[in-house]
């Protein structure tokens, strides 16, 4: 999977991808992450990428020319999708992550300041993805969330030790509570069933806990489930 991120702050993307699991996924050739800076596509002395909004109002709007030229400079693979990180998009979810993981390339458009000149949307026609109903200062964190979540779906990113099999949402339920050493901490004990080595009992306990947790915390997830 190749990610190409259009951003005014490439270091934010590069830095996050140089740690831990993503770093290993890059080293193993499972993912490639490239950045393109629209500022490199400006034609003026000040390398200007934004300007005041027509009609007045606060903040600066990202100008179409540097963004569209930067976008058009990206070499597109056949099975490619372009997403725009935007609070106005559809919300990122397990379903969206799985759909995105089917592509060979994801081109991410990160906004900043007041956001994009509308013509960038009209020309590029990206799928707009939001992290949630709140506004961030830029699209880099949401782009990294997409890169991270999609990478976890690709074979070779997670080792056995970080396996995603039982993760929350993997089959529509939240994960069961997890415990590690010590057996007792501040008077709180690890449930006995997890210590007895009986995998049938352990699996039954965990499944019961997953359903219970989901009922309590996210009953909406159970609406169309036969449980
Ligand atoms: C300050 S925001 C612009 C918000 C825009 N003025 C609006 O109200 O819709 C700057 C950039 O941050 C990113 N961003 C902010 N909130 C986001 C969210 N919830 N999900 C995804 N991207 C977001 C987008 O790339 C956006 O262009």
Read off the CATH number of the domain in which 182 is found.
1.10.1270.20
Distance 87 CA to ligand 1 centre (A): 5
Same domain, 210 and 136: no
Give pLDDT, residue 161. 60
Nearest CA to ligand 1 atom 6: 114
Same domain, 188 and 139: no
Residue 15 domain flag: yes
Same domain, 82 and 138: yes
Same domain, 116 and 172: no
Same domain, 101 and 197: no
The verdict on whether 152 is a catalytic residue reads yes
Same domain, 141 and 181: no
Same domain, 108 and 27: yes
Give pLDDT, residue 165. 81
Tally of domains within the chain: 2
> Choosing from 53, 87, 94, 121, which is the catalytic residue?
87
pLDDT along the chain (227 residues), means of 10: 98 98 97 98 98 97 98 98 98 97 98 97 98 98 98 92 82 95 98 97 97 97 85
Distance CA 18, CA 16 (A): 5
Residue 227 domain flag: no
The verdict on whether 167 is a catalytic residue reads yes
Distance CA 65, CA 68 (A): 5
Give the residue from 95, 125, 152 where a domain finishes: 152
Distance 8 CA to ligand 1 centre (A): 14
Residue 94 domain flag: yes
Residue 159 domain flag: no
Q: Is the dihedral of CA 10, 13, 14, 16 positive or negative?
A: positive
Domain carrying residue 63: 2-152
Could you please report the per-residue DSSP string of 103-150?
Answer: SSEEEEEE-BTT-B-HHHHHHH-PEEEESSSS--SBSHHHHHHHHHHH
């Amino acid at each position: 999977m190749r990610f190409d991120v259009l951003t005014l702050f490439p270091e934010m993307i590069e830095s996050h991808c140089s740690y831990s699991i993503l770093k290993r996924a890059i080293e193993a050739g499972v993912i490639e992450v490239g950045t393109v800076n629209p500022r490199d596509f400006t034609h003026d002395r000040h390398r200007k990428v934004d300007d005041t909004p027509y009609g007045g109002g606060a903040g600066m709007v990202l100008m179409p020319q540097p963004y569209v030229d930067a976008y058009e400079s990206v070499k597109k693979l056949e099975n490619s999708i372009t997403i725009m990180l935007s609070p106005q998009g559809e919300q990122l979810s397990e379903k969206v992550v799985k759909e995105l993981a089917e592509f060979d390339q994801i081109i991410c458009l990160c906004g900043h300041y007041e956001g994009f000149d509308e013509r960038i949307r009209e020309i590029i026609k990206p799928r707009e993805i939001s992290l949630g109903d709140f506004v961030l200062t830029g699209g880099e964190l949401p782009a990294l969330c997409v890169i991270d979540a999609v990478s976890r779906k690709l074979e070779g990113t997670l080792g056995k030790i970080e396996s995603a099999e039982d993760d929350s949402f993997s089959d529509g339920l939240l994960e069961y509570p997890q415990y590690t050493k010590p057996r007792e901490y501040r008077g709180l004990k690890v449930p006995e069933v997890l210590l007895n080595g009986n995998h049938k009992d352990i699996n039954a306990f965990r499944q019961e806990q997953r359903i219970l947790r989901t009922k309590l915390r996210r009953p909406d997830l159970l609406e169309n489930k036969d449980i």
